[in-house]
A and B are shown apart, each in its own frame.
Chain A
Amino acid sequence: MLEARGIAKAFGAHEVLSGVSLDVERGELVSIIGPSGCGKSTFLRCLNLLEQPDRGMIRIEGVEIDRDGPQKRWTRADEAQAHRLRAHVGMVFQSFNLFPHRTVLENVIMAPLAVKNVPRAQATEVARDLLDKVGLKGTADRYPLTLSGGQQQRAAIARALAMKPAVMLYDEPTSALDPEVAEEVLAVMRQLDHDGMTQIVVTHDMRFARAASDRVLFLDHGRVVEEGDPDVMFAHPSDERTRRFLRSVL
Chain B
Amino acid sequence: MSLRVLNGFKFSSLKTPVHRLDPRAKFLLVIGIIVPSLLFTNIYLLAGLLIVQVPLFMVGRVTKRWLQSLRAGLFLSALIFVVNFFTGPLVNAVALTLRFLLLMTTFSFFFMTTSPDDLGLAIDKVGFIRWLSRRWLGYPNALSFTFTTAVRLVPTMAVDAQTVVDAQRSRGLELDKGNLLKRVRNYIPILIPLLLIAIRRSLELAEALEARGFPGKEGRTSLFELRFKPVDYLLLGISLAGIILSFWVFLYYRVPTI
A binds B: no
Interface residues in chain B, defined as those with a beta carbon under 8 Å from any beta carbon in chain A: none
